[in-house]
Amino acid sequence: MIANTRGFLWSDLETRALLGIWGEADVQSALDGNFRNSHVYRDVACRLAQVGFDRTPEQCRIRIKGLKRQYYQAKEGLPKGGPTRKACKFFDEMDRILGARAVPGGPAAHRGGPTTGDAVGRDQIAEKDLTGEGSSFAEHPIKVECAPFAIPLPPGNGFKHIGAQTSTNHLSQPKRFKKRHTGIPLDKMIGKLLQQSVAAEEKFFRYEEQRLKMEDKHRETERARELQMLQMLGQVLAGISSAVSQRAQARPPSPPQRTHHRAYGDDLSFNAMRAALSPPLVLERAFSLHKAHSVKDMENALQLVKNIIPPLTTKKHKGQDGRIGIVGGCQEYTGAPYFAAISALKVGADLSHVFCTKDAASVIKSYSPELIVHPVLDSPHAVHDVETWLPRLHTLVVGPGLGRDDLLLQNVKGIVEKSKAKGIPIVIDADGLWLVAQQPSLIQGYRKAILTPNHMEFSRLYEAVLRDPVDSTDHHGAILRLSQALGNLTVVQKGERDVISDGEQVLVCSLEGSSRRCGGQGDLLSGSLGVLVHWAQLAGPEKTHGLNPFLVAAFGACSLTRQCNNQAFHKYGRSTTTTDMIAEVGTAFKKLFES
């Protein structure tokens, strides 16, 4: 998307695209026919969206109206090379469009000078084109605070003054003001008029912004009312749930049900309610908006992570415990892909590949001999080169050290499409999230994707997908809405507490970390998450007791990163770096998952 704004400021590129569409024959014929102008400008807005500009029909109508006003001001009795003509930078395009329109009165109406009837007729036609109603120009003439003045024209034999009576009717003012501006230079007078015009437009835009804010506030009020109603519904469902639980306790459950409840904790009586009530899908949806279905018991959640970790055995061969691919690394950023790749190895992956640019390859290789580095990301055949390796990889981590170069982003887009076609889990972080914010459809609906945004990345992604600002008071609701809008893929919002959701359930990781926030911690998280995702898929839903395996893997990666941060901070304090944290991966992993 080239432009994405709700404001009223138009770039030259947007304006030329608008004029190109508005000047087309079918649009002009629709304006002349028995069509409602709202339909015409809705069609213009849709065509703008097809070429990459996001504008509403009302914004298109207001912009065309402003351009017409500038065009007629520039055309009425002013020199072709004058300042007003130059200020109307789209004069030629407007002249071509309006010149092709059929004006009542025939061509004779354009041969003479700009009479009062001609000016009023043109104003009526222009206003009718814009609004579909009667003329407002004739009934409400343009208010000019300065009186008409004599315009000096330099002929070959000297200067000749044209009287003020040559001005058009709608610019005339009482004669008593004529002497006030007689000595003001032409350029100064025109500049003053332009300043007044700009001030009037800015005032109009401010009023429009205030109107939009009031509409947003009204929508927020409606949303709060809906949430209140859902809260009341949640309380009713909670009462029904307790009644169902009491009824279930009256008869002893089967052994599988006992195991099921021990794995989830006492707060999962929601499943019993869902089994007893109809329709289950609607009840689950409504209840999740009020209170997210989450695993609050930290020990139970960590036990689920322990269940997916494969045991170390001599019967395995190289590659079975994980072959992870890192897509990222350019000339400016070589540390991030290294941190992600080496973290994957430290957690327990057997092989770690880095697909980076040619400039970054030798630098990343010098960091560690354990990494397999492919300098292909900026090559013309990057997508094909990486695609040949995809069948050998279990998980792809996209974004660490990627940068925002257009060529690299285009190649990464192709790599993501190929990975989706092969069903490979994808962890997206850093500049990979920036790419998703620009093109949400790239990953929308692919439930094997995990997004790991920090605070700023989450806000950018939320506004790009939902077109609304983030509600900072409702973290659970915000991450649920974003995940649902993206097709129920897993989202990990990093912060003071890591909040994880797949659009149906929410997990919160509040394990103690530290106050140190050095660069690279997110790369440790994404690299370790790539390994745990592979292990969770291998373990299957039996080991996670029905919980989404991607939620369990994300919770494990967040817990491990926080534990590494905590241990390194106790040793090095304020001087802690990501390298110190990676050195703690082994002991932190053992303390959390193997003790």
Residue numbers in the known binding site for (6S)-NADPHX are 401, 454-460, 523
Which residues make up each annotated binding site for ATP?
A: 494-498, 513-522
Element (H, E) at 25: helix 25-32
How many residues comprise the chain? Answer: 595
**Ramachandran category for residue 425: left, alpha or beta (phi over 0 → left; psi -120 to 50 → alpha):** beta
The binding site consists of 401, 454-460, 494-498, 513-523
What letter does residue 453 receive in the DSSP assignment? Answer: -
3-state SS of 519-556 is: CCHHHHHHHHHHHHHHHHHHHCCCCCCCCCHHHHHHHH
C-beta neighbour count of 233 within 10 angstroms: 15
- Distance (Å) of CA 345 to CA 306, 395, 418, 535, 582: 18, 13, 25, 14, 10
Amino acid letter for position 380: P
Question: What CA–CA distance (Å, rounded) separates 62 from 262?
Answer: 63
**DSSP β-ladder status, 498-501 and 506-509:** antiparallel
- How many Å apart are CA 390 and CA 565, to the nearest integer? 32
Query: Which residue matches tokens 């809906």?
Result: 226
Parallel/antiparallel/unpaired status of strands 395-398 and 372-375: unpaired
**Amino acid letter at 402?**
L
Sign of CA dihedral 128, 131, 132, 136: negative
Q: How far apart are CA 300 and CA 309, in angstroms?
A: 15
How far apart (Å, rounded) are the C-alpha atoms in residues 524 and 578?
8
CB 444 within 8 A of CB 451: no
Tokens of 249: 């306790």
Q: DSSP strand E in 388-536: where?
A: 395-398, 426-428, 449-451, 490-493, 498-501, 506-509
Q: Please state, in angstroms and rounded to a whole number, the distance separating the CA atoms of residues 453 and 402.
A: 15
Q: Is-contact 244 273, C-beta < 8 A?
A: yes
Give me the DSSP letters along 280-303.
Answer: HHHHHHHHHHHS-B----HHHHHH
Region of 265 please: left (phi>0), alpha (psi -120 to 50) or beta.
left
